[in-house]
């Protein structure tokens, strides 16, 4: 009976360690594609530009603030809500290199990119940087591939 107590004690100790410490250290890191999907979901729920800045790199946030000026809130939310309704259809490429990553999506974009009532085929490239252990959007490039509209 004496030999069972130390074995049980070690087993219980190992299980307690796994239950209390492993969840924080064993979680899988969010991929750039997952981060972008969460960003699009946050845009749809956003009531303020502050709701979105946690998804954007410090450099991109600062650049936007300078360009938008006093109309920052209005411009940002209009632009991003349009994006949330049209981006992210088909992930073509995800490339991760150290603290940077690139996603490429194929999609059909609507107004203001193509004009009212039109859809245009496009390629959207999203560049990420890792800041404080989290993927952040640093830049987006949109390339319209078609000149004529695609019927809705």
For the chain, list the domains and their CATH numbers. 29-144 (3.10.450.50)
And the tokens for 120? 């245009």
pLDDT of residue 150: 46
Q: Report the chain's mean pLDDT, rounded to a whole number.
A: 76
Q: Output the CA–CA distances (angstroms, integers) from residue 29 to 8, 11, 43, in the order listed.
A: 34, 29, 22
- For the cut 80, the answer to whether the pLDDT of residue 18 exceeds it is no
Q: 47 or 23: which carries more pLDDT confidence?
A: 47
| 108-126 exposure pattern, b = at least 16 Cβ within 10 A, e = fewer | bbbeebbeeebbbbbebeb
Give the full edge-to-edge strand order of the sheet including 100-109.
90-97, 100-109, 120-131, 134-144
Say which range, 5-9, 76-80, 93-97, has the weakest mean pLDDT. 5-9
Per-residue pLDDT of 33-58, as tens digits, reads 999 889 888 888 887 788 888 999 99
């Amino acid at each position: 009976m004496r030999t069972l107590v130390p074995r049980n004690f070690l087993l219980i100790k190992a299980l307690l360690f796994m239950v209390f410490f492993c969840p924080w250290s064993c979680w899988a890191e969010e991929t750039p594609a997952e981060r972008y999907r969460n960003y699009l979901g946050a845009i749809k729920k956003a009531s303020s530009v502050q709701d979105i800045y946690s998804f954007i790199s410090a450099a991109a946030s600062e650049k936007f603030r300078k360009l938008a000026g006093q109309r920052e809130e209005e411009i940002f939310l209009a632009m991003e809500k349009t994006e949330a309704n049209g981006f992210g259809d088909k992930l073509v490429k995800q490339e991760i290199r150290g603290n940077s990553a690139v996603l490429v999506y194929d999609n059909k974009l609507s107004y203001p990119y193509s004009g009212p009532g039109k859809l245009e085929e496009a390629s959207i490239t999203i560049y990420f940087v890792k800041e404080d252990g989290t993927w952040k959007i640093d830049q987006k490039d949109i390339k319209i591939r078609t000149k004529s509209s695609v019927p809705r």
